[in-house]
Structure 1
């Protein structure tokens, strides 16, 4: 159960971080199939998003540093 609690906390952290940059992923959550299995651990399901949301996410990520 500890692994599930950690995964839920990670989803909550990601949801808050995305909200700070104006991004909402409606389908963000835990993958139910991975929650039932024990082999690979719990997976986070990011889900689908609009083109606008994809662009907002891309803009929120750091770019390449110059001089590399």
Structure 2
């Protein structure tokens, strides 16, 4: 598999994030970019900490699958 340049990696990740449903994209943004914990994210979304965790997990699975398919 060929190695991607940094700019290509960033673009690929940005495209993957854009494909996520809005709520999943928001959770990923709050968790990784704003560095909020799941309890704080749950409060913002009006859901439990457990539900915020489920949304994050689903988003990460979608991202992983998209990136895996994009690199084939």
Higher helix share: 2
Higher strand share: 1
| TM-score > 0.5, shorter chain as reference | no
The structure with more radius of gyration: 1
TM-score between the two structures when normalised by the length of structure 2: 0.34
